[in-house]
Chains A and B, each alone.
Chain A
Amino acid sequence: MKVLKSIAYAVTLPALLILLWWVLTIDSTNFYVPKPGELATTFVDTWFGERFREDVMPSVARFAAGTLLAIVLGIAAGVCIGSVRWLRSLLEPMLEFFRAIPPPVLVPILMVLIGINDRMKIAVIVFGAIWPVLLNTIEGVRAVDPVLVDTARTYGLSRWQRLRTLVLPSAAPQIAAGVRQALSIGLILMVISEMFASSSGLGFTIVLFQRSFAVTEMWSGIVLLGLIGVAVSIVFQVCERKILHWYYGQKEVQHGR
């Protein structure tokens, strides 16, 4: 019963919105707004063929490679910088500046530096997405509870053990917040880098549709990007819940009191 109720809550509004859309476009000939059924068939026709292999998969692969690299590098560098106080003071203003650069402006720069190729597109994602992970890791490492640090020291935990069982888990909630930002930046950059300088990929294809006034196809591309965004967000949330279950549990307990 409870499950049914929450399903009803989750489904009702989207269903109503689609119904509304359907009713409003039933005899419309509006060039800009396709009908729901039309869009659905176009979506399948457009993306579930050769394009899936030629455009969608490479884009998603570049996104995955770039963000993963950004996350790994960001955490590694963040742990190093966060544990050394003078290094942190030395680098923080510089890092704040890099973080503040709107990432898409890196596209023209890396185009000049690396050329127009896959490496450039991945580099754009890494350079744009690394900052939130890096800065949040630094912040998280710095905020490790001093009592816990003392505890680890009195039990003589080795450097590796300290990193694995103390520093990383304790910084994990902060790192996760950074990763969430990195994912959405990575997705933006995946699209932008292809819109700017490419002859294939999702971003390129959607712009191509727009330029050739293939409006329904363009909409289907927007929907696809949206679905990718939602899928990434769901995967992230599942992982986060799993890794940080202790954190959410603890928070619930604290709220309950």
Chain B
Amino acid sequence: MAGDSATIETGPREDVHSPVALSVQGLQKIYSSDTGDVEAVRDLTFELRQGELVCLVGPSGCGKTTLLRCIAGLLDPTAGTVTLDGAVVTGPPKKMAVVFQEYGRSLFAWLTVRQNVELPLKNAGMPKAERQKAVSEALHAVGLEHAESSYPWQLSGGMQQRVAIARAVAYKPEVLLMDEPFAAVDAQTRADLEDLIRRVWKELGVTVLFITHDIDESVYLGERVLILSNSPTVIQEDLTIDLPADRDQLTTRSLPRFTELRTHVYAEIQKAKRGKGGDA
């Protein structure tokens, strides 16, 4: 592990003793095609403790999405295992929800906002009254109670992503995966949504794995940041973010510590791009 600055502490935070929620062991994914094999992910090992908010950041094209799809059970890894609550993931697990980057395409255009949020609950067989309540709460949490009978395509991009988040929240997953969820929304909306994620995470105590290519975002959001190397992908560094728990777009981002951490992550990613620090 490369630790340039002595003040940066690496490794999972020691004082967290909650049980492991999600564990990825020696994960490898090779795509075979006619033109030869492509190794998207080489050897990934990391753990998420229950209730943690961990950001995964890496240069673009480093296999972040492949990793997410493997964790979500949408893709079979070539080698290694993903374990959720002690059970090996072989298909999409029940207690996991995913928020995709393409909000416009992950919502059902023929269902209203409320129906979109309700669908997974209905499918899970939740009784109607309970379902109604859960949906209303989730919509309230993301500030969309006024838009519940609109259709997704009538909403702005940021609001559509809120619907996707509400759907995930209402589902009450143990682990929430987010795949660059804010990459396609404007900067102002993005800041709002970041705060929304922090709030939801704190209120629900859910374990969150947040994948992003944005360094600022990863440092601002995460309790821990996992830095990925360029493909083939391995974990280059596991960094604890020792910023105060109450974060605020203005004050947190202007803390000297924030700048230090950001610079550190930036340097690591530059190294990853050059392909130096990756061979763990």
Residues of A at under 8 Å CB distance from B? 145, 147-148, 150-151, 153-158, 161, 165-166, 169-170, 172, 246-247, 249-250, 253-254
CB distance from B177 to the nearest CB of A (A): 8
A165 to B92, alpha carbons, bound, how many Å?
18
Name A247's contact: one of B74, B94, B109 (CB within 8 Å): B109
Question: Which B residues lie within 8 Å of A154 (CB)?
Answer: 72-74, 92, 96-98
| Additional A-B contacts beyond A154-B73, A250-B153 (13; CB < 8 A) | A145-B105, A148-B105, A148-B106, A148-B108, A150-B100, A151-B106, A154-B98, A155-B97, A161-B123, A247-B110, A249-B151, A250-B151, A253-B154
A155 to B167, alpha carbons, bound, how many Å?
10
CB distance from B182 to the nearest CB of A (A): 16
Indicate the size class of the contact surface on chain B: 20 to 34
Q: Can you give 25 A-B contacts (C-beta < 8 A)?
A: A145-B105, A147-B105, A147-B106, A148-B108, A150-B72, A150-B74, A150-B98, A150-B106, A153-B73, A153-B91, A154-B96, A154-B97, A155-B120, A155-B123, A156-B92, A156-B120, A156-B124, A157-B120, A158-B123, A246-B109, A247-B109, A249-B151, A249-B153, A250-B151, A253-B154
Question: Which A residues lie within 8 Å of B69 (CB)?
Answer: 150
Question: Which A residues lie within 8 Å of B74 (CB)?
Answer: 150, 153-154
Pair A166/B97 contact, Cβ less than 8 Å: no
**Cβ of B21 under 8 Å from chain A:** no
Most buried by B among A151, A154, A158: A154
CB distance from A168 to the nearest CB of B (A): 9
**Cβ of B102 under 8 Å from chain A:** yes
Q: Which of B100-134 contact A (CB under 8 A)?
A: 100, 102, 105-106, 108-111, 119-120, 122-124
Answer whether A169 and B110 are a contact pair too, CB < 8 Å, given A147-B105, A154-B72: yes
Question: Which B residues lie within 8 Å of A253 (CB)?
Answer: 153-154
Answer whether A246 and B151 are a contact pair too, CB < 8 Å, given A147-B100, A151-B106, A155-B120: yes
Question: Which B residues lie within 8 Å of A172 (CB)?
Answer: 110
Question: Which A residues lie within 8 Å of B92 (CB)?
Answer: 153-156
A254 to B154, alpha carbons, bound, how many Å?
10
A103 to B197, alpha carbons, bound, how many Å?
58
Answer whether A166 and B106 are a contact pair too, CB < 8 Å, given A153-B74, A154-B96: no
**Cβ of B171 under 8 Å from chain A:** yes
Question: Which A residues lie within 8 Å of B154 (CB)?
Answer: 249, 253
Question: Which A residues lie within 8 Å of B98 (CB)?
Answer: 150-151, 154
Pair B108/A165 contact, Cβ less than 8 Å: yes
Answer whether A155 and B119 are a contact pair too, CB < 8 Å, given A150-B98, A249-B154: yes
Question: Which B residues lie within 8 Å of A157 (CB)?
Answer: 119-120, 123
A157 to B105, alpha carbons, bound, how many Å?
17
Pair B96/A165 contact, Cβ less than 8 Å: no
A246 to B115, alpha carbons, bound, how many Å?
13
A25 to B69, alpha carbons, bound, how many Å?
74
A184 to B179, alpha carbons, bound, how many Å?
46
A150: nearest residue on chain B (CB-CB)? Answer: B74
A142 to B120, alpha carbons, bound, how many Å?
23
A28 to B268, alpha carbons, bound, how many Å?
94
Task: Produce 1/0 per residue, B77-97, CB < 8 A to A.
Answer: 000000000000001101011
Task: Produce 1/0 per residue, B133-167, CB < 8 A to A.
Answer: 00000000000000000010110000000000001
